[in-house]
Structure 1
Amino acid sequence: MAIRERIAEFCEQEAPLKGEIEVDESYFGPKRVKGKRGRGAGHKTIVFGIVKRQEKVYTRIVPDCSKSTLQKIIKEKVDLDSEINSDKWHGYNGLEDMGYKKHHRVDHGKDEFVNGKHHINGIEGFWGFSKTRMSKHKGVNKKYFYLHLKECEFRYNYRNEDLYQKILKIVRNNPLFLS
């Protein structure tokens, strides 16, 4: 198993996030093709992200941004006592019915990006970090996109630590090759 696969495996094992949480979806792929409009234009890969403010991010490639898809992941990865911040996308409707007591929204459609302490700037910052990092490869093969995404997640989550030492620890606990 290669190092990127070990990193991806490590990221998937993270515990549920708790506290001030931001959720958002983003589209990765080629620039918009002329004549194609709307979400996912140009065969983009859809990624859903959850960030605990000032700490960690979790990402998952999703088939769509439907309410059932997004809320299943939120329920799996976000503790019920958390305060969730999102945009107005309909996929986030009903979080209160799922048991989340605090859900705040910003309305990008009305040029609202911050409402007091409620925003999704943390996850938006992660999207920018990831897209910039992946653009250096001048395109990432869809076959390996997941591994590159998880590498970005790992780098972001441990940005204040010695990544080399962190990777060594992961490899020591799970060697790349069995003897």
Structure 2
Amino acid sequence: MIMQVKNKYVYRSKISEAKFRQIVRLFALDLDATQISQIVGLSRVTINRYLMAIRERIAKFCESESPFQGDIEVEYEVDESYFGPKRVKGKRGRGAGNKTIVFGLIKRNGKVYTEIVPDCSKSTLQSIIRGKVDTNSVIYSDKWHGYDGLVDLGYGKHYRVDHGKDEFVNGKSHINGIEGFWGFSKIRMSKHRGINKKYFYLYLKECEFRYNFRDENLYLLILKIVRINPLFLS
């Protein structure tokens, strides 16, 4: 019988609170499971169980956050990106090659929100925009037809750049902020050398979390999140 250890961050914990804090500190520093395992002296399998449980709490925290709540007359950039294996030969277009489609909104000089979507249709993208962005705000996008008609929905300040004509910046019109987030996320995910589609959402929300709170102490913030809602490892 394995003795349980008192740990306010983990139900029925088998490791000490100090050991768990060490895992969180190393995770906050963006070390991977293998590196953390070598430092703390636990198996990689055990470390992965803790890290996935932490990611689940982070995802729930992101879901409960309202990064744009109360914001009016501010500037947003919107865009979609595609995550997954390299494009299958012969397949082209947005989302080609069985990729996971992610839609993102970013407030300029602020936070980002991401959502996995089934497609890039007008109805899908604009329903998210309508639920997150006040009509008095400014929206910047590319020329994808999924953004056609935003003006008709009350978004009178919608400006676009035409990437198809190699136009990436036109005065204040650009989507460099959200594209920067896509680059940040893909670089982070690439170090895992392949992510099971089943867990992609958790890794996506981890990227969102790290980006939105990049100027804060992630170690203390994660401990606070887990203290409110302790982990349960079955």
Q: Per the alignment, in what secondary structure is the counterpart of residue 125 of structure 2?
A: helix
Between Structure 1 and Structure 2, the one with more strand by share is 1
- Equivalents in 1 of 2:67, 2:139: separation in Å? 13
How many residue pairs get aligned? The number is 178
Q: In the alignment, is the contact (CA less than 8 A) between 2:67 and 2:111 conserved in 1?
A: no
**Secondary structure of the structure 2 residue equivalent to 1:27:** strand
Matched, 1:131 2:181: no
Give me the whole-angstrom Cα distance separating, in 1, the residues matched to 2:80 and 2:175: 11
Which residue, 144, 152, 165 being the options, matches 1:110?
A: 165
Q: 1:5-154 residue pairs with structure 2 within 5 A?
A: 5-15=56-66, 17=68, 18=71, 19-154=74-209
Q: RMSD of aligned C-alpha atoms?
A: 1.5
Share of identical aligned residues, percent? 80
Query: Highest Rg: 1 or 2?
Result: 2
> Residue deviations 1:37-89, cap 9 Å, x none?
22222210000000011111000000000000000111111122211000000
Give the corresponding residue for 2:225.
170
2:82–2:102 CA contact under 8 A, matched in 1 = yes
TM-score, normalised by the number of residues in structure 2: 0.73
Maintained 8 Å contact 2:126/2:150: yes
Residue 42 of structure 1 aligns to a residue whose secondary structure is coil
TM-score (norm 1): 0.94
Aligned to 2:18: none
How far does residue 36 in structure 1 lie from its aligned partner after superposition?
2.0
The CA deviation at 1:176 is 2.0
* Structure 1 unmatched ranges of 5 or more: none
> Separation in 1 of the partners of 2:58 and 2:136?
28
- Alpha-carbon shift at residue 16 of structure 1 (Å): 5.4
The equivalent position to 1:157 in structure 2, one of 205, 208, 212, is: 212
CA shift, 1:8, in A, is 0.8
Are the aligned partners of 2:67 and 2:113 in contact in 1 as well (CA < 8 Å)?
Answer: no
Could you tell me how far apart the structure 1 residues matched to 2:100 and 2:62 are? 19
- Deviation string, structure 1 residues 148-175 (Cα, Å, up to 9, x no partner): 0000000000011111111111112222
SS in 1 for 2:192: coil
Q: Tell me how far apart the structure 1 counterparts of residues 130 and 229 of structure 2 sit (CA, whole Å).
A: 29
Quick check: 1:47–1:60 contact (8 Å CA) kept in 2? Answer: yes
User: Partners in 2 of 1:28 and 1:105 — Cα distance?
Assistant: 24
Question: Following the alignment from structure 1 to structure 2, what is the Cα–Cα distance between the partners of residues 20 and 34?
Answer: 38
